Amino acid sequence: MMVFTGTANPKLAEAVVSHLGIGLGRATVDRFSDGEVMIELLDNVRGKDVFVLQSTCMPTNDNLMEVMVMVDALRRSSAGRITAAIPYLGYSRQDRRPRSARVAITAKVVANMLTSVGVNRLLTMDLHSDQIQGFFDIPVDNIYATPILLDDLLKQKHENLVVVSPDVGGVVRARAAAKQLSSDLAIIDKRRPKPNVAKVMNIIGDVAGRTCVLMDDMVDTANTLCEAAIALKEQGASKVVAYSTHPVLSGPAVERITSSQLDELVVTDTIPLRADAAACHKIRQLSTAELFAETIRRISREDSVSSLFMD
């Protein structure tokens, strides 16, 4: 087994191989003067079970291209099996054509690209939509950050919890969390007039005097979370905390969170935090390294991955 990484999140890759007790595969990841990606492997990979660990976060296109060029280099160097371990899979929000709009289903495009370049299987965390697994003609292991997030939530010992879904689309995720916490569920009904702009319309459920826990798979511009926090506080919530797997945090997200009604945002390290996000007193990051290491170990040994998430 060997693990290689690009430039997107080397800190996570180093933590994962530390848990695995192996060294990180050596490779030169560079750019030509016009921005073209150039990768050279410095280790022998012939017949090896190789994992390319890299999130396709911002800059999305560059990081995705690094994955594909590295996979091609591995395939041409006779790697035995290549697994793309992509903690955060970019473009996963573009998974359908809403109301027959003339748009691409870009999640499928990315699936085709990864498969055609030589990826034998995919490992990822908290896909935006579970059905994206069906876009791939190779095995997909979609693992979950829920055990990490809920374990931290329990350690905080909040009183009078209610789990809140920030939108109707996240109800399944929030309901599962509420079941594990033996707490109530509330839902925020919102209307989105245009991309990245959310307006809270109504709250379904009792939140007055309670600690509200917003659960979502990613936080991008943070507009949804901040609007939700305002609505929950207006309805009498005593505290609002948010748990999200992927800290995309683009644009003015960090400024919004700093000045928002949110008491805390807890995220994982599938995406490295920007300097301003790391310095924000309201944002706290949890490690997924141990979970990824155990999953990689099980894939390499042909052991069960789903048993990691079964009660």
Q: Residue 190 catalytic?
A: yes
- CA 296 to chain CA centroid, nearest Å: 17
- Residue 111 corresponds to which tokens in the numbers above? 């699936």
**How far apart are the C-alpha atoms of 54 and 65, rounded to whole Å?**
11
What is residue 109's three-state secondary structure?
A: helix
Indicate the residue type of 81.
R
DSSP strand E in the chain: where?
A: 2-5, 27-31, 37-41, 49-53, 81-86, 121-125, 140-143, 161-165, 184-194, 197-204, 211-219, 239-247, 264-268, 283-286
Residue 101 in tokens: 């709009």
Structure tokens given for 121: 């299987």
- Mark 69-106 as b/e (b = at least 16 C-beta within 10 Å): bbbebbbeeebebbbbbbbbbbbbbbbeeeeeeeeeee
SS3 call for 249: coil
Per the residue annotation, which of 108, 155, 190, 239 is the catalytic one? 190
The answer to whether 213 and 161 have CB atoms below 8 angstroms apart is yes
- How far apart, in whole angstroms, are the C-alpha atoms of residue 9 and residue 73? 20
Residue 219 corresponds to which tokens in the numbers above? Answer: 């936080």
- Give catalytic residue positions: 190
